Amino acid sequence: MSDSEEDSQDKQLKIVVIGDGASGKTSLATRFAQEAFGKQYKQTIGLDFFLKRISLPGNLNVTLQVWDIGEIPCSFSNFIIFLNKISKCTN
Ligand SMILES: Nc1nc2c(ncn2[C@@H]2O[C@H](COP(=O)(O)OP(=O)(O)OP(=O)(O)O)[C@@H](O)[C@H]2O)c(=O)[nH]1
Ligand SMILES: [Mg+2]
């Protein structure tokens, strides 16, 4: 193993995409994570995940977990509590 591989650091970050229905959340997530854009609309039910690995200067490897949220089935404040809870289960 080379020195640079030994020194590399791995981090995992989550990005949660929320917004009005059909506002372009899934398009944004797929464009970012898969470099693809589909013109056809398909409503997101529940939650979709996308992964993207990026390398930052300083030998820092980051795995971005993009959470693409469908319609929020409760109040926004309850939803934040819910997100916080499931976030702890996916570390
Ligand atoms: N012209 C244009 N169309 C877009 C853009 N972003 C998304 N769309 C279109 O808008 C529609 C809805 O996009 P989605 O990304 O599925 O929207 P969403 O917010 O994920 O929708 P929900 O899952 O129902 O919440 C799709 O037909 C996309 O192709 C954009 O920047 N420009
Ligand atoms: Mg969607």
Residues near 54 by beta carbon (within 8 Å), at least 6 away in sequence: 61, 62, 64
The structure tokens 């899934």 sit at: 26
Q: Is the CB of 43 under 6 A from ligand 1?
A: yes
- Averaged pLDDT of the chain: 88
CA angle, residues 6, 8, 10, in degrees to nearest 5: 130
pTM equals 0.86
pLDDT in tens, 34-73: 999 999 999 999 889 999 999 999 999 999 999 999 988 7
Distance, in Å, from the CA atom of 42 to the CA atom of 67, rounded to the nearest integer, reads 16
Does residue 31 or residue 72 have the better pLDDT?
31
Q: What separation in Å is there between the alpha carbon of 81 and the centre of ligand 2? A: 21
pLDDT band per the 50, 70, 90 thresholds, residue 91:
low
CB count, 10 Å around CB of 25? Answer: 21
Is the Cβ atom of 22 under 6 angstroms away from ligand 1?
yes
* SS3 assignment, position 66: strand
CA of 25, nearest ligand number: 1
